[in-house]
Amino acid sequence: MKRYSLFFQLWILAALLSPRIQFRDYEEGRSRDLLTRVEVNQSALARIMGEFRTGASDMLFIKTERYLHSGVGYVPHLTEALLSVEGTDKGVEAHMAEMREGHEEEGHDPFHHEEEAETLVPTPGQDYRRWLGEMHRTVKPWRDPGLAHQHSDGKELIPWFRMMTLSDPHYIRGYIVGAHWIKRHDPEAAMKFVEEGLIHNPNDFQLHLSKAFLMLQEARRMGQGTLETDDIAVQGQIVRAKRYFQRAAEEMARVRPREVPGEDIADHPDWGTYHESDAMAAAHMAILLEERYGDPDTALELKTRYQKLMPGYERLQR
């Protein structure tokens, strides 16, 4: 019995050591970089592996494509515009608007870039398997890639976002996209989801930006569609949103690579177009809200600061 108690003590020691071995909990990394994942998910290897890609970011690509297209497997091809926080928001809204109104014309829905997208199961003309291919197309959800895509509600994606962020709490994209889908049904739950992301990633500027946008939208909802109201509750909400935009801009300034004259910052290996798009949104909104709802002198200070930081951002230079 004495010996068993010794082994039990070893177990306790191991359990006590467990919180100190979270070495897979690092921020950033290629496996979480969106542009890299777009590239990976379009690669032959990813198509061969199919649903056996189990990383949180790969799950996002697989499930988003499938669920938004009623199960049809297309080769993933998200554009950079859809990867930013604002792009995600607009993409989700427009996708839902199209579903409601039944629009099919090109250009209305940002997800329309998919027209003529390649399906994972080839078309009859490209399939060497003949009868087997025919059966494959019959058994699996399949639609001729030449036809307009059949879009469906992304609400059912929400559980997958929950699982993604539980599996990898540093997968920022899971929180951002998830929050934009949740907010359509429960804005408070969406806010809590982003806050959970901030607990795990307190310095991530895109999460702060996402939270700020959610707060601003809530202020607009409280003001019945406008921010221009004397309602104290609305004004308070705007001030809180302003703080988060400013925090997002501060965090952005900390991580944004230094601009090299003559080179596009979006070509930097650690900084894509969607990062830059969010960086601009954070700086712009931080200044704008300070100007309108805060102190104009502070707004000017902020403007000077971000003008120096982002000399290529024309809107700030005006």
Partner 1 sequence: MNKKILTLLILLRGSLLELWRRQDMWILVMLMGLFGLVALGARFTGSHSPAAATFMLDLGYQLAGIFAHFLTVILAVRQIPNEIENRTLYPLLAKPLDRDTLLMGKWLACVLGGLLVYSLFVVIVELVTPRMETYVFATLLQHLAVQPLSIAWAAGLGILLSLCLPRGLALGGSLLLVFASETLFNWLRDSISLVHALPRFGALNLATRYTDGAGALTAAEFLFLVVYPLLWTLFCLGTARELFRRRAL
Partner 2 sequence: MGLVARGVWLEAIRRKEIYVIVAVSCLFILGLSQLRFFGLMDLSKFYREVALKIMGAATALTVIVLGSRQLPREFESRTIYPLLARPIHRITYLFGKQLGVMAAGAFCLMLFLGLYVAGCLLLGAPIYPVLLMQHVFLQLCMLLILTSLCFLLSVRFSLDSAITFGFLYYLASSILSNLFLMLHESAQGAARVVITAFTWLLPQLILFDLSEKNVHGDVWGPLPAVAMGQLFLYALAFTTVYLGITLALFRRKPL
Interface with partner 2 (CB under 8 A), residue total: 37
Two tokens at 158? Answer: 């929400």
Round to whole Å and give the CA distance between 165 and 312. 34
- Backbone region of residue 293 per phi and psi (left: phi > 0; alpha: psi in -120 to 50; beta: other values): alpha
Round to whole Å and give the CA distance between 41 and 178. 20
Closest approach, Cβ 21 to partner 1, in A, equals 5
Backbone angles phi and psi of 74, in degrees to 5: -105, 155
- Binding to partner 1 by CB under 8 A, coded x per residue (else -) over 163-182, reads ---xxxx-------------
The answer to the question of residue 44 lying near partner 2 (CB under 8 A) is yes
The answer to the question of residue 189 lying near partner 1 (CB under 8 A) is no
Helix axes 273-293, 205-222, angle to 10 degrees: 50
What does 136 interact with, of partner 1, partner 2, none (CB < 5 to 8 A by kind)?
partner 2
| Comparison of 138 and 224: residue with beta carbon closer to partner 2 | 138
In this chain, which of 22, 225, 314, 318 binds partner 1, going by CB under 8 A? 22
| Comparison of 152 and 235: residue with beta carbon closer to partner 2 | 152
Q: Is 79 exposed, middle or buried (0-12, 13-18, 19+ CB in 10 A)?
A: middle
Running DSSP on this structure, what letter comes out for residue 105? Answer: S
The answer to the question of residue 49 lying near partner 1 (CB under 8 A) is yes
The SS3 assignment for 19 reads helix
| Comparison of 269 and 296: residue with beta carbon closer to partner 1 | 269
Round to whole Å and give the CA distance between 235 and 227. 8
The answer to whether the beta carbons of residues 203 and 254 sit under 8 Å apart is yes
Closest C-alpha among 305, 302, 282, 283 to residue 294: 302
Footprint (CB under 8 A) of partner 2, residues 172-211: 182, 185-186, 189, 192-193
Which stretch in 7-15, 91-99, 120-128, 166-174 sits in contact with partner 2 by CB under 8 A? 120-128
In this chain, which of 12, 13, 97, 132 binds partner 2, going by CB under 8 A? 132
In this chain, which of 14, 28, 29, 140 binds partner 2, going by CB under 8 A? 140
The H or E element containing residue 96 is helix 85-101
In this chain, which of 160, 205, 244, 245 binds partner 2, going by CB under 8 A? 160
In this chain, which of 136, 240, 243, 268 binds partner 2, going by CB under 8 A? 136
Closest approach, Cβ 41 to partner 1, in A, equals 9
User: DSSP string covering 21-56, please?
Assistant: --TT--S--GGG-HHHHHHHHHSHHHHHHGGG--SH
- Residue ranges in contact with partner 2 by CB under 8 A: 44, 47-52, 66-67, 70-71, 120, 122, 128-129, 131-132, 135-136, 138-141, 150, 152, 155-156, 158-160, 162, 182, 185-186, 189, 192-193
